[in-house]
A and B are shown apart, each in its own frame.
Chain A
Amino acid sequence: MDIIPQLLVTGIALGFIYCLIGIEFTIVYQSTHLLNMAHGMIITFGAYLFGGTMINGLGLPYWLGIILTVLACGVMGYAISALIFNPLRAKGMIFSLVACGIFGNILASLYLAIWGSYAFTVPGFLSGVITVGSARIAKSYTYIIITAIFLIVVYELFSRKTRLGKSLRCVAQNPNAAALMGIKVSQNINISVAISSMICGVVGILVIPLFGIKTTMATTVALKGWIACVVGGFGYLPGTIVGGLILGISETFVAMAIPSVFKDVVSFVILIAMLLIRPGGIMRDKVR
């Protein structure tokens, strides 16, 4: 059947989007054990800043806009961590959950105020189609796949080979021991969240041609990314790839078999099935 390559490619591409989101979500969870419910809004911030200010507003070249936006997202993540995550860390997950949720709503109103109420996009950015065999996929999907793999490799190297990376991992595994070793725990957490936010910024920029720029652009994928990292194994980065791919591919294929509108139910059923059968995730033995 000639649609199988098409479905496969779409599933893989979606899977990598979920995977990227899962990665940035896992980074925050690993270091703080809190769920970063505001990550959808950080992704949206990346998109708005890049599209609205850098390109449409200031007319900067793409590469400069990307660098500045990613840095800005990092700063934003650092601020969120310093102001919200660190203070609420001791109180427990539900507080940070609610606080992030409210903060996300405030951010949405802020974006509408700054960049106007109408949805928009960056014309011609990453647009175009390439043909792979009998399948046609959007060019932006290929960029997403390449970027995702690149980021994963870079992050793994950073986290295992560099000193900062290792100290971030220490803090994630055992904050008390890390503190005893002289590592500044709060500072490290801020940096982890900053890194996660920079990845969010990259995701935001990459999905502009797919979702357009509006306040609701990231809500569904943010949730699916969450599911992806749970399915893959919370805390093991390559596991997130597995989780994302499973989610993306099964969603797409199942949607061909059943009335497609129930596609989203598939993701949640996979999630719940996974949590009941194998709570640590598919690659839970490697989870650290």
Chain B
Amino acid sequence: MKKNIPVLLLVLCAVFIPLGFMKSNYFIQLFQQVLIYIVAIMGLNIVMGQAGLTNLGTIGIIGVGAYGAAMLARALDSSTLLCLLLAVVLGLVLGLMLGFPSLRVKGTYLTITTLGFSQIVYLLLNNWVDFTGGPMGVRGYPYLSLFGFKLESAISYYYFLLVITILCVAFCIRLSKSKFGRSFRALRDNDEALESLGINIATIKVLAFTLAAIFGCLSGALYAFMSRYVSPNAFAMEHYARYTQMIIIGGMGNIYGSIVGAIFVTIVPELMRDLTTQYQLIFNIITFVFIMTYPDGLLALGKEIIRKIAGALGGAKNGNIEA
């Protein structure tokens, strides 16, 4: 019960803080972006943080999900949960597509394969003009509607995203504690032991990729309805770095770490806009130095700081030495 207090507080923050910013679309859409990234990061965390399989194909997966949802919405001239469902199905297909190569290739080669996948997705989205509209992208589809209720205002779409994100995070927490979660971590740490326990490694790997792809495609679809315009530019291969940055800066393998990472990488550069137009460069320098000096991530850093403060306070109060 005590363990859940920080989580509860986090959820309360997510529910109530935006109310203070209701007048400003800037902050609400920023928060929307954070939530969309968190959904994608949940998937990446499963496959990379827990199962230890490098997956640089996140941006490609998101691109497929975004375009799938957008094109269906435009074709039907209505955006409903059906489009999100399509994204989930696409994720399933992609996950299997990426999962099977992961059985044959390992480590570095897997990295390169997934990167190649991202690049292929971008090239197809950009150059297959007849199907995807090419560089001009896809637009002209309506806001997402939930059972007839149009999520037109920024704040309504934010709360919808919040519900979805909480569901995704809760799912991942449960998964992490389940036998699947344990299998993923075993895969990362000691895959031979896993085999000896009779668990099929192939199934685990494919499952990890499939989950990552489902979350990624879902994230892409949610993005499509946030901006109501998708273009290949947003899914250029260079963007793969953003997601791996979030995972590492927050704390590898840790669900809360990933959330912290997503929030940090999205919000901090935006807050720095007012300081200088070179905020991107300064943010890069900060993250670079941080990764080099404290690779364990922000969450671990935060915990350590809190531990030290608690230690100092507790020691001063009771004269005891806190751990």
Contact = CB atoms under 8 A, between A and B. Distances in A.
A and B touch in the complex (CB under 8 A): yes
Contact of A98 (B248, B280, B285): B248
B119 A223 contact: yes
Given A98-B244, A226-B112, A264-B119, A276 B104 contact: yes
Contacts of A276: 101, 104-105
A103 B244 contact: no
Given A88-B292, A106-B284, A271 B112 contact: yes
Contacts of B105: 275-276, 279
A98 B127 contact: no
A99 B101 contact: no
A143 interface: no
A95 interface: yes
Given A93-B54, A271-B116, A105 B104 contact: no
A88 B123 CA distance: 33
A27 B41 CA distance: 33
B288 A272 contact: no
Nearest to A103: B288
Nearest to B123: A265
A263 to B, nearest CB: 9
B127 A262 contact: yes
Interface residues of B, number: 34
Contacts of B248: 94-95, 98
A75 interface: no
Contact of B113 (A87, A261, A271): A271
How big is chain A's contact interface, by range? Answer: 35 or more
Nearest to B244: A98
Contact of B120 (A29, A99, A102, A268): A268
Contacts of A35: 108, 111
Given A94-B54, A102-B241, A265-B120, A272 B113 contact: yes
A100 to B, nearest CB: 10
A101 interface: yes
A283 interface: no
B320 interface: no
A251 to B, nearest CB: 13
A106 B291 CA distance: 14
11 contacts: A83-B292, A98-B248, A98-B291, A102-B241, A102-B284, A103-B288, A105-B281, A265-B123, A268-B120, A275-B101, A276-B105
B315 interface: no
B112 A230 contact: yes
Contact of A105 (B54, B115, B119, B284): B284
A183 interface: no
A95 B113 contact: no
B201 to A, nearest CB: 16
B245 interface: yes
A97 B291 CA distance: 11
Given A109-B281, A223-B119, A93 B291 contact: no
B48 A94 contact: yes
Interface in B217-231: none
Contacts of A91: 295
B146 interface: no
Given A262-B123, A269-B120, A98 B245 contact: yes
Given A268-B119, A272-B116, A99 B54 contact: no
Contacts of A50: none
A99 B119 contact: no
A227 B108 CA distance: 12
Interface string A60-103: 00000000000000000000000110011001011101110111
Interface string B114-140: 011101100110010000000000000
Given A95-B248, A276-B104, A264 B123 contact: yes
A261 B134 CA distance: 12
B109 interface: yes
Interface string A238-282: 000000000000000000000001101100110110011001000
B291 A95 contact: yes
Contacts of A265: 120, 123-124
B285 A106 contact: yes
